[in-house]
Structure 1
Amino acid sequence: MIKVWTASEISLRQVRTRLDLIEPSLAIWSGFNYPFIWCGLECLKEHNCVSLLYNSTEMSCKLFRVIYNEDKDGDDTVKYYILDRGRTRWVPESCKDVATCSGTTTDGEYWIYPQATNRKRVKIFCNNMSSDPLEYITLRNTNSFNEHDKSNWPIMWQQCQSSYIPPLKRADFQKVGIQIQTMEVNGLDFTFALLTGTPTISYGEIRDCNGESFRSPCPHFARATINTKGTGLVIDPSLTWGVIKGHYPEIRNFQKSTDDSEISFTCAGWCARCGPASGPIIFQYQLRMHKP
């Protein structure tokens, strides 16, 4: 049950949320040795205060101009209070909002509420916060894409060679850049990618130049591995994967997990580029999977 405390002009609605959902850096005021009612009065005095976190053991008070999502089902929930005085809810929709609201210049992970996810919270890595903030998704598992081209041919212009001259050009992404307004991937942003050589492919693309797809036997060396587990996001399930361009090209061995978080495929052609065929890569909010 949600309780309401009222004292003078203060009306505080108690809800529960997880402590890890609250960003301490966004506190507009904090103090210690404050009784709960004084904490509420401080919030009322602060023009931008819409919520507060109170620790009765420490008698500590933190005030926020952000209203965080409720979470009643988490294992480690805390009491959290929302000031009811007719304020419009405000949440940061971008890293620039976080920087403007809190004054922080520290790069790191923050909860963002993009319009593209209907303001469902998403953990975003904010980079370059001291000047022009940019948004990235931190990938818990490296996402890898490689490129086989004529520089890898042991014999020039011979198709279906059984081996290649290493290394293959490669991009291993630890974070991927996005346009926060649309959640579209900036596939050529290699800020947080480990590069082998100078690949011409972007996030989600691979390229193979070992032989026309109808030839057999004919090995192909281009492979894509996408894994968004743990990010709360998946690539738009309606996106079609296939051939982008090439001579006698074909996408092969395409696999996608039932929860859409894992995708892998290979590519064949002379030369062939495979990847997102129906449009750009756009991240979507992943609905929580219910345990059986």
Structure 2
Amino acid sequence: MERLIYNQAIDTCRDIKVCNSKYTTDGEYWMYPRILNFQRAKLYCKDMNSHNPKEYLTLNEENYAEYPNGSSLGHGECKVDSNNMVVVQTDYGFTHQEYGNPVPYGKAIGCSFLHNVTKCQVHGSVEMNISLTGLIFDSSTNWVWFGHQAYIVKTKRTDHEIFIVGDGGCGGGKPNGQIKLLIDKSYTPPLASATEPKCV
């Protein structure tokens, strides 16, 4: 007999498989994380046909990191530690790398001072946008300088979008800790847009 999950923690994709072993298809699932007080959150489960599936947040808008002459990276989904609802900044499972080495999610780095091109618009930048996901960025996460001669050129911030421009020699701006996610009380994705777990 199947039963819907209400007021019961579904923290991870693995919990969904424990709930019902028939869930073996990668895709969007509804979860009820303890850390969100069992409020419904929509996450993408990858590797559901394995013993260790992973949680990702599907990004509906452009997300990228641009490190001039060093790296250009776009994110289609970002890895989430769903037990704590924080972004795993160094996972690159759903990224497309145009050139260079990966840049952690949320980090803006530039080297203008090092190359003596401070008058040129070659600053590092990062765009994070989780609009229409049902989640928002926790306002407690701030961006701080890092590296040599570092400074933050520009910031733009809302609940759903964060844009940072940073530079130095080399340096820029990075999160002062974990990038935490909260429930978006102004928008909930349609129920039919993800699978509702049914336990057996």
Q: TM-score, normalised by structure 1?
A: 0.59
The percentage of counterpart residues that share the same residue type is: 28
Instruction: State how far apart, in whole Å, the 2-side matches of 1:282 and 1:198 are.
Output: 27
User: Which one-letter code corresponds to 1:281 in the other structure?
Assistant: I
Q: Hey, what does 1:102 align to over in structure 2?
A: 20
* Shift in Å, 1:217: 3.2
**1:57-76 alignment runs, 5 A limit:** 63-67=2-6
Cα distance 1:227–1:217, how it changes in 2: closer, same or farther (>3 A)? same
Q: How does 1:211-290 map to 2 (within 5 A)?
A: 211=113, 217-243=119-145, 245-257=146-158, 260-276=159-175, 278-288=176-186
Change (3 A) 1:180 1:216: closer
Q: State the one-letter code of the partner of 1:94.
A: T
Please say if residues 208 and 267 of structure 1, whose CA atoms lie closer than 8 Å, have aligned partners that are also in contact. yes
Q: Give me the CA root mean square deviation.
A: 2.1
1: distance between equivalents of 2:25 and 2:75? 22
Distance 1:230 1:272, change over 3 A: same
| Residues 146, 223 of structure 1: 8 Å contact kept | yes
Q: Which residue of 1 aligns with 2:196?
A: none
CA offsets per residue over residues 60-100 of structure 1, 9 Å max, x none? xxx42423xxxxxxxxxxxxxxxxxxxxx535222111112
Letter in 2 for 1:93: D
Aligned-pair CA distance for 1:116 = 1.7
Q: 2:8 aligns with which of 90, 98, 101?
A: 90
Kept in 1: contact 2:9–2:34 (CA 8 A): no
1:254–1:263 contact (8 Å) kept in structure 2: yes
Distance 1:216 1:124, change over 3 A: closer
Match of 1:134 in 2: 54
Q: 1:171 to 1:233 in 2, by over 3 A?
A: same
Contact 1:254 1:264 in 2 (8 A): yes
Letter in 1 for 2:184: Q
Query: Separation in 2 of the partners of 1:101 and 1:142?
Result: 34
Give 3-state SS (helix, strand or coil) of 1:197's partner: strand
Which structure: larger Rg? Answer: 1
- Map of 1:20-169 to 2, 5 A cutoff? 46=1, 63-67=2-6, 89-103=7-21, 104-131=23-50, 132-148=52-68, 152=69, 168-169=70-71
CA distance in 1 between partners of 2:171 and 2:8 (Å)? 47
User: Can you list the C-alpha shifts for 1:190-227, whole angstroms capped at 9, x where unaligned?
Assistant: 11111122424200012100127xx9634333111111
Greater relative contact order (Cα < 8 A, sep 6+): 2
Q: Distance in 1 between matches of 2:109 and 2:165?
A: 9
TM-score (norm 2): 0.84
What letter is aligned with 1:139? L
Aligned residues: 184
Deviation string 1:141-170 (CA, Å, 9 cap, x unpaired) is 12111112xxx3xxxxxxxxxxxxxxx511
Unaligned runs of 5+ in 2: 188-200
Q: Which runs of 4+ in 1 moved over 6 A?
A: none
- 1:206 equivalent in alignment to 2:108: yes
